[in-house]
Each structure stands twice: as structure tokens, then as C-alpha cells.
Structure 1
């Protein structure tokens, strides 16, 4: 009991999407192993999975479950994100003070010393001030995405907001390498009725700058110029990534064999690992488009036909909510493929038989494939995915990209190039980045040092 009460107590408030929850949960597990006590706010929808997480991490990570009604159902995070965030923040601003008061009156728990929020949640600064505690945030997007957010005024001054799908190469955003306007985040492409002059985004960016620290799920060797520029503009922006389970780094940071890979809507189908065991070395294309991205049946047919024509085995994740797409594969005629509803992605990417990743290029997936040393075949949809894909293909040179509406012939050629001699450069480059990622989170690495510095600060104020 006394040991628990002496730990710095961090209240973690993630954004309620899988791509945001998982890196924050991984950060919290890392902090627990470094002497923190964590209270993690989460929807009841995750209760079954997180009960297992609590067993694995012990008594120093507790979950407070918010009612499902707390998460706005009237708006979709993919189609009307600003309304979604506004309702979520209003609810949090009412609920979090009560949660903190409950903790403060519980003699078995340490006093809350810090609030950690997702970068998308800016409404809790006042709550932190009310209780005299610090607030930090976590960006689950890249440093490049943050560079663009910080460069909104520069884009406006050049008459480029909204971008409206311009193909112009934009090379004047501080810290950001030259990127086509087509690949900038989707929320900057069109005028939004809720924020027609982007003033809400300007305001939110200014609020974020007042956080004690902004953790970035990236590492210095991957986004050097971006992180250097962010540090010059706002010194409290620091990289602490990649935020992944320890087994992702080949045991370099301590392996926990009971470690859960990620929080998810769906149960991971572990049979895919047995199937991978039967495939030749580096021969399999792993296909997954994350928890939100969706493709049309015609697009899926073209991808499937191209993969079959390439004659390489492939493992494809077709989510349980994609019933129409699943019907396309009820009786596949090609015997070198396997379909699953959900997969243990890191374990798949690190498997000896996987040679490429056909992905939507969500930031978590990009980091995972880099750490696993697997090149990417990018097919981005929305949000930051086109930006991540452009970085991977044009700047890090760890893969290639399919056009928005690929036909089977293009898919076949792209796969053969990726898996053949033409793909050797991509394999070499991603292997080098995998080593840099491992070094970043190991003793002496910058990401590791930044978390150590945070730990020291919290021990002083607790």
C-alpha cells in the first residue's frame, strides 16, 4: 500500500479510437514499469480486453470505465470529426473533475500529479489548473503531421487553405520535406462548415503549446528535420516512440511473454501464425487496412485478382464489420491465401515468412512495419494516411504506392517488384530504420532519455 501511494499518479485520457488508444496504453504500460501509477479512462466497450491487460500489468494500472453513452454516437469520427471532438470534450470536462475528486478522497490511491490526454483533447487544461497539477499530451500522429498543423498560417499566407486537392509540391512548411498538396491531411483539403476559416484549429494548436510536454510517437532518426523544427518552435515537443510492445524490438527492452499486443474491437485470429509457419521465407504479402478504412467491392476484387496473378501467398484481414467484402472470399479459388477477421499484426509482421505489407499507411501500421523491417505497399485512404505513405515511399524509400483506383495488372506488377530484386533497396532501407527504432527506445536512445526525464520531473512533484 505504501509503495503504491509513493508512485507518481497519472490520469490517462485517450481519444476513443483504436489508433489512439493503443499507443497511449503502451505508453502507460511503459510508465508503470518505470514506477508510475496509472488511472486509464476508457469506454465500457473495451472492458473485457482491458481486464486481461490489468491482470498482465498488476495493481499499478487501473481502468475507470465510462458509460458507452459518453462517446458521441450521433457523429462519426471519420465523417464529422470536429463535432465528435466537441461533444467528447464537453463530456470529459464534466466527468474528469469528479473522477479526480474520487481519487483524492480514496486513501488507498496516490494523489493525481498529472493528466495525460490525447493531443486531440484540449479541454482539460482548465481542469489541470483547477487541481494544481500538470497536463501533458500524446500525439499519436507523426511529427510531420504536427509540422503541418504548426504551419497552418504559412499555408494560409500562400493562399493554400483549403488545399482542394492541389498537386503542387509544397516545400515551405518549416521542417517538412517537399510533399504534394494531394498528400496533405484530408481535413485541410476542403472548407469545413464547423470551422470555415480554420480558426478552431489555430486555437487548438495554441492551447496544445501550453502543455508541459507534448509526447510524439516517433523517433529522431525517422523525422529528424521535423523534430528539430518542432523543438526550435516549441521545446516541450519531444519524441518518445515507437510506442510498441517490448517483443517488437527483439527483446532489446525486455520481453514479457504475457504481453497483450493491442486493444481491439475484435478477437485476434491466432491461426494465421500457424498458416505463416507453413509458408516460405519472406514470401507472404500481409494485407490489412486498419480499423476504420474501407474499400469498395470493386476495388477489393482488383486487389484480390492482382495478388492472385502475382502468384505470391498472402494473408488478408477482412474485418467482421465488412460483411459485403467477406462474401467475396467465401470460397477463394486460390489456395495460397488465408483470410482472417483480425490479426495479431506485430506478430504477423515479425514472422519470418512475411515479406511485404499492403497497408492503408495509418501511423501505427507504418511504425510497426518499420520496427519489423518489412517494406510497405501503400494504399492510403484518409486522415494522415496519404502523408504517411508519401513519407514512406518518397523520403524514407521503404516501399511503393498503389494508385487510388488500382487495376489488377498494376497490383500484380507492384507485388512482383516488391518481392523481387527491385525491392531490395526498400528492404535494405527499412532494415536500417528498424535498427534506429530499436536504438531510440533502448538505454541511451533519445526516446528513452525523454521518458526518463519525464519520470524524474514527476518524482519531484509527487
Structure 2
């Protein structure tokens, strides 16, 4: 990898776990180039971050007394002022920022960077397919300003299968409260003669989506930002890992590829009837299961019942990378968030997708129809995945065959992409060269 010893990179992220986790992983990757790296977020986000050699932290205002985010508008107003002051102060101190990398929902960061003549890049930590849909959606006649979109219809995006509007990222629908933010992202990128986007993906996985974008959109896949090693990267979570010894000992007692791991991310909270259906499907399938239920609280009795009756294990937290790489795990029942999808690909574990929101439905579609490393659970008319459907999905993914072979192939491709001479390392070097931070 190119050495960036005399450069200073500033990364800006929202404190939401699905944002700050991949941003922290990217920041850690950049420290390995020898660069000085600063990660900026709100004070609530900084509370969970560890000390890393070569990395410093900065917090900007944008929340209440506890530092939590209250609105995108407040963050834009206060954050813009704070970020400008930070960039000017660093320059006066002889620590000029050479590159500013910003995450989703923060298009104003690029405006500040442009005003101060600092190069910037969007870190789009979802898939290249998702970015392609966002770009083509807002650049087409059926963009966010068109309230007459037929939500029962379909959209054709180059390099992707035909997508129903119900399958595209939900934040693109005109009535979504954050649709305007993604419109601003595209507008901001279009204002620049050359735009730069870093993607948490790899060429072998999403080559067609990357090729579908116009030449002035310089997109660089630098993932997967999950190595598959149990000790790396740092797992950022507000819940203590007091369950770690318990779940590792439990996993160690199970046969290879026999356990179903169930987790729906940090934000999804299932209704009781849906949890009951999943539980019954797990019981009737006969597979031992490890299930993460974060917001137990009043559901403690319910969780104890699941554990006692089902022979599974319920925990409030676990290191997902560690669990997915355990030899006992044979399947991942997931909400199909991109971070979880990438971690599952890197670990070679097949997925049962139960997508809820954002880009999750499209991720689940790609897993089932394009990459072939899992299936999507089909909900009934009330949006509930029944026990019979859960049993069907588990039978398919735990049965080996083509899905298992595809998982092994994708894992190998991911590992190769992140090798010293892999495509993602080459892309990161090419990114530095394109920005003229280093000579060709």
C-alpha cells in the first residue's frame, strides 16, 4: 500500500452504529498507510470509540444535553460552523487536512470542504448497487420531486435486475422524511467536475453496478471493511460484552455448521407475534440457535421462555464478526443491513434475509437472485414471516448445495480483494493518485 505518512485525513460520521462502525473501520485502514487520521462525530458517538495509534478524535455539537443527535438540520447548522473552525485551526497549527471523507446524511460537509479548497470524498457505506440506484433515481425523470410515482411499478437500473419500487431503498420514496438528504448528496456530487466516492464493497462482487456509473463519478470499492478475523476490527457497541464467555462456551459445544445465528441489527425491534413465529420456526426446524435480542427489558421473561423451551441461547449483545466466524455457525437470519451482509459474505455464512427498511430489501434481493448466497423470507399479507416460511428458508440454506458453494466462492473473492495486491488495496492507491495526493 502507498505510504501517506505526511498526510492528514479527516473523517466525519453520524453517531449511529450502522454509520460509525464502517467509518471507524475505514479510519483504521487509513492509519495503516502512515497517515494522521482524525475521526469526527458527536460526543455521544465518541464515548464508544477505542484508542488507536495514529488516530485522534474530535466531536462537534449537534444534539441535546446528552450529546445525542436531535435533527439533521441542527447538525448541519452547528456542524458546518464547527467543521470550518476545525479545518482553519488545524491549518494554523501546521496540521492541514489534506482530505475530508464524509458519510451519509452529511452532504453539507462537502460544501464546507469546497469553500476551503479541501478535497473531499463521500464514503457511501452501503453497496455499489444501492449507490447506483440512488444516482440513477435522482438523475431520471422519476426523481424525488415527482409525487406521481407509481409505487406498484418497477425501475430498471443498469447492471441490476428489474427492481420493484417496493424493493429500492426506502429513503428514495418522495414521502420519506430523508429523501431530500439523498437528493442533496447527488446534487452536491454533481456540482463538482469530478466526484469521489468510496464504497464498502469489492470489484468482484459488484462490477456491473460500478461500471454503470458515468465517468465523472469516480467510485472506488475499498471493502470489504470486515477482515473476517475475530479480533478485528473493534466492535463498537453501547452494550457491554458480559455475555461473551457464555455464548462462546455455548457455541463451542455445538457441531460444525449446526447453529442458526439470529440478529436484526441495532435498530429493528420486532413485534411479539413476529418473534413468536420465528421462535416456533426455529424450534420446529430442530437447529440450535443463538439469538440477539437487544432491547429485552420487559421481554426478559419472554427471552427466558425461548431459551428454556427451545434449547437455544438468547443474548443482549455479541461480537457479530466473532460469531459468524465460529465453526458452529451454519446460517445467519438477518435484517439484511449492508454491514451484516458484508460480514456474512466475508465469513462464508449463508443468509436468510428478513429485510425491514432502508436498503435492506434490495440487499436481500441481491443475495437471493444475483449472488446466490442465501434466500429472502417471504412475509404474509400482514408483513409477518410465519413459522412454516422460516422452516422452509432454514431447510434451504442449511442444506448445503449451490448456496454453500456460492458462499465459499464469495468468501474467497472477498479475501483476495483485501489481500496486499488485491483489488481494494489497488483501488485505495488509485484513489490517492487520482486526487493527486501522491504521484503516479
How high is the TM-score relative to the length of structure 1?
Answer: 0.84
1:336 counterpart (295, 300, 311): 311
Work out the CA distance in 2 between the residues paired with 1:67 and 1:157.
Answer: 33
- Larger deviation, residues 335-344 vs 286-295: 335-344
Is 1:184 paired with 2:168?
yes
The structure 2 residue matched to 1:430, chosen from 402, 407, 412, is: 407
User: Are 1:363 and 2:359 matched, yes or no?
Assistant: no
* Cα contact 2:260–2:287 (8 A) shared by 1: yes
Taking a change above 3 Å as real, the CA distance of residues 163 and 375 of structure 1, as seen in their structure-2 partners, is: farther
Counterpart CA distance in 2 for 1:69 and 1:85 is 10
- What is the aligned counterpart of 2:196 among 206, 209, 213? 213
- Counterpart contact for 1:281–1:353, Cα < 8 Å: yes
Shift of 1:48: 4.4
Runs of 5+ consecutive residues of structure 2 not aligned to the other structure: none
Are residues 1:150 and 2:135 paired? Answer: yes
Q: 1:439 to 1:413 in 2, by over 3 A?
A: same
Measure the CA separation in 2 of the matches of 1:260 and 1:242: 12
Q: Are residues 341 and 122 of structure 1, via their aligned partners in 2, closer, same or farther at CA, if it must alter by over 3 Å?
A: same
Q: Which consecutive residues of structure 1, in runs of 5 or more, have no partner in the other structure? A: 76-83, 249-256
State how far apart, in whole Å, the 2-side matches of 1:399 and 1:113 are.
41
Q: In the TM superposition, what is the alpha-carbon distance from 1:130 to its structure 2 partner?
A: 3.4
Aligned-partner Cα distance in 2 for 1:303–1:440: 35
128 and 309 in structure 1: CA distance in 2 versus 1, 3 angstrom threshold: same
* 1:309 maps onto 2:284 in alignment: yes
Return closer, same or farther for 1:200/1:131 CA change in 2, 3 Å cut-off: closer
Structure 1 residue 90, shift from structure 2 partner: 2.0
Residue of structure 2 in register with 1:348 after alignment: 323
Quote the offset at 1:41 in angstroms: 0.9
Give the structure 2 partner of residue 139 of structure 1. Answer: 124
Alpha carbons 1:162, 1:190 under 8 Å: kept:
no
Q: What is the deviation of 1:68?
A: 6.8
Residue 273 of structure 1: how far off its partner (Å)? 1.7
Give the drift of 1:263.
Answer: 1.4
TM-score (norm: length of structure 2): 0.88
Query: Do 1:147 and 1:176's aligned partners in 2 also have CA atoms closer than 8 Å?
Result: no
1:419 paired to 2:398: yes
Please say if residues 285 and 356 of structure 1, whose CA atoms lie closer than 8 Å, have aligned partners that are also in contact.
Answer: yes
Task: Spell out, residue by residue over 1:155-213, the C-alpha distance to the aligned partner (whole angstroms, 9 max, x if none).
Answer: 618998665642x453x222322223321111234524x68xx6764443021243652
1:98 maps to 2:110: no
- Change in Cα spacing, 1:436 to 1:160, as seen in structure 2 (3 Å) is farther
Matched position secondary structure for 1:126: helix
Q: CA offset at residue 35 of structure 1?
A: 1.3
Q: 1:44 to 1:191 in 2, by over 3 A?
A: closer
Write the distance in 2 (CA, Å) between the matches of 1:450 and 1:221. 13
State the 1:411 CA deviation.
Answer: 1.5
| Aligned counterpart, 2:234 | 261
Deviations 1:381-438 (A, max 9, x none): 0011011001101111111121231122222232223212xx4211111110111111
2:301 to 286, 304, 327: 327
Instruction: Establish whether residue 64 from structure 1 lines up as the match of residue 58 from structure 2.
Output: yes
Alpha-carbon displacement from aligned partner over 1:206-260 (angstroms, at most 9, x marks no partner): 2124365210111111112101112x34341111111124626xxxxxxxx5x45
1:330 counterpart SS class: helix
Distance 2:432 2:154 in 1: 41
> What is the RMSD of the two structures over their aligned residues, measured on CA atoms?
2.7
Q: Deviations over 1:113-146 (max 9, x none)?
A: 1111014311123322333321112001111111
Task: Label 1:24 to 1:451 Cα distance change in 2 as closer, same or farther (>3 A).
Answer: same
Distance in 1, Cα, partners of 2:151 & 2:299: 29
SS of equivalent residue, structure 2 residue 63: helix
